[in-house]
Structure 1
Amino acid sequence: MTLSLRRDVVLNEVDDGLVLLDERTGRYWHLNGTAEQMLRELLAGHSPAETAHRLTAVPANDAPVDDEFRNRVTADVQAFVDGLVRAKLVTT
């Protein structure tokens, strides 16, 4: 799956993440740091599963990441993608 921002969606960096502005509607979405990381990985061409693996590869406390946790993160990334698609912010 290749994900890209729609032509009329503008991405702006802010201190605590990103803002996506849909110039067609004037609506905007504020993404926190985690959502920013997910979006950047997805826009770089990584699948939701690859994105989840990359996000959990180096845990903050250096503890190993189990499959159950990685599966939950994969589901969260997929839900994020689904939300972006529903909001018509990206194309796949």
Structure 2
Amino acid sequence: MTAFALRRHVTATETEHATVLFDQRRGRYYQLNPTGALILRVLLDGGGPQGAARALRERYGIPVARAEADVASLVDTLRRTRLAER
């Protein structure tokens, strides 16, 4: 799998309670909840989907299948909305 990356026109800013993504081309903001922010942070740091799922399991104590599904869902959404590279 190739490294995960946001598109060049998308910036990520961590706030006290979430992460905000700004799509400069469309002038739109997107807010990730703490779970989404954790997934994104691990992915951007090169941890890959497995690392992100492991971080979710460690932080929230959720089953493996749910953690993997949550990561896959966020990655799919970010790619489908053209916020992340394919």
1:77 counterpart residue number:
71
Moved >6 Å (runs of 4+): none
- Richer in strand (by share): 1
Structural mapping, 1:47-66, within 5 Å: 47-57=48-58, 59=60
Larger radius of gyration: 1
Identity of aligned residues (%): 39
C-alpha RMSD of matched pairs (Å): 1.7
Q: TM-score, normalised by structure 2?
A: 0.86
- CA 26–48 in structure 1, closer or farther in 2 if over 3 Å, else same: same
Work out the CA distance in 2 between the residues paired with 1:73 and 1:39.
Answer: 13
Q: For 1:90, give the aligned amino acid.
A: A
Q: TM-score, normalised by structure 1?
A: 0.81
Work out the CA distance in 2 between the residues paired with 1:6 and 1:79.
Answer: 18
- Richer in helix (by share): 2
Q: For 2:37, give the aligned amino acid.
A: E
Q: Which 10-residue stretch deviates more, 39-48 or 49-58?
A: 49-58
> Which runs of 5 or more structure 1 residues have no equivalent in the other structure?
none
Work out the CA distance in 2 between the residues paired with 1:29 and 1:59.
Answer: 23
Shift of 1:42: 0.7
Which of the pair has the greater relative contact order for Cα pairs under 8 Å at 6+ separation? 1
Shift of 1:47: 2.3
Structural mapping, 1:26-41, within 5 Å: 26-41=27-42
- Aligned pairs, how many? 85
